[in-house]
Amino acid sequence: MNKPYPNTHVGRVALITGAAGALGSHFARRLAESGCDLALTDLTMPQATIESLADTGVRIYADAVDLADADAVARFADDVLGHFGQCDILVNNAAYMPLIPFDALTLDEFRRFEAINVESALVFAQKLSPKMKERQYGRIVQIGSSTTGDPRPGFAGYITTKMAGIGLVRALAAEFGSSGITVNAIHPGLTATESSRKHLPPALFDAVKELQLIKRTEVPEDLVGVLAFLTSEEAGFITGQALNVDGGTQF
């Protein structure tokens, strides 16, 4: 009789950005239940997420970090390595995504999109990859967006920087291919969270749902299994890929 697959997350440490939000808290729960210790950050301390994980028994290190501040990002990465001695999984989940009309998009505002959605991922990779290389194990997952394939007015800053994030995934996959580190992206469809419901009109959720083969609005629970797989040992031969998890959206 075949043995069950081992729980390959036990003994791993995962850093998750945007941990105070719905996606981040769901990702944290899934990886904690798989045995990961966690490093969590958001613009404010993700206290509710931390408290929700008390029953898992995993170790948690957390701090509030503005991802637009590259120095703060670098300090947090160093603090995580200092606390745990390792970081095996990086989930770049945080995103800056206000809906801004193109005529109102200032260069300063665009640079905040860049800093949070792209530059923070670069800094984290630079700081964490040496230890991953040393251990010959690393999983980096960038949370992308299906809007890169279905651009809409008002999303210029968001779509541009999300597309840049995919370029970074492919570049880092090439950089780390011989080091035991994989780098991939997950492209969710429009996902119902407190933040997305706040920033986006209800009509948009209805319109997107009609483009999907699965005719319901995506929720965070639709994404956690894919993240668990891509961060596991079983996904060790997958890198440089962007996996659409969007209900079969037909553009």
Greater model confidence, 195 or 87: 87
Cα(16)–Cα(34) distance, rounded to whole angstroms? 15
Kindly report, residue by residue over 30-59, the tens digit of the pLDDT. Answer: 999 999 999 999 999 999 999 999 999 999
- Averaged over 191-217, what is the pLDDT? 89
pTM for the full predicted model? 0.94
Residue of 83, 187, 174 whose CA lies nearest to 143: 187
Q: In terms of DSSP bridges, do strands 37-42 and 60-64 run parallel, antiparallel, or are they unpaired?
A: parallel
Which residues are part of the catalytic machinery? Answer: 158
Residue 186 has pLDDT above 50, yes or no: yes
Residue 87 has pLDDT above 90, yes or no: yes
Residue 230 has pLDDT above 60, yes or no: yes
Q: Look up residue 207 and give its two tokens.
A: 């319109």
Q: What is the pLDDT of residue 250?
A: 78
Q: Name every residue whose Cβ is closer than 8 Å to that of residue 171 and which is 6 or more positions away in sequence.
A: none
Residue 158: helix, strand or coil by DSSP? helix
Kindly report, residue by residue over 125-171, the tens digit of the pLDDT. Answer: 999 999 999 999 999 999 998 888 777 788 899 999 999 999 999 99
Q: What is the DSSP string of 22-63?
A: HHHHHHHHHHHHTT-EEEEEESS--HHHHHHTGGG---EEEE
Architecture of domain 13-244: 3-Layer(aba) Sandwich (3.40)
Q: Are the C-beta atoms of residues 177 and 239 closer than 8 Å to each other?
A: yes
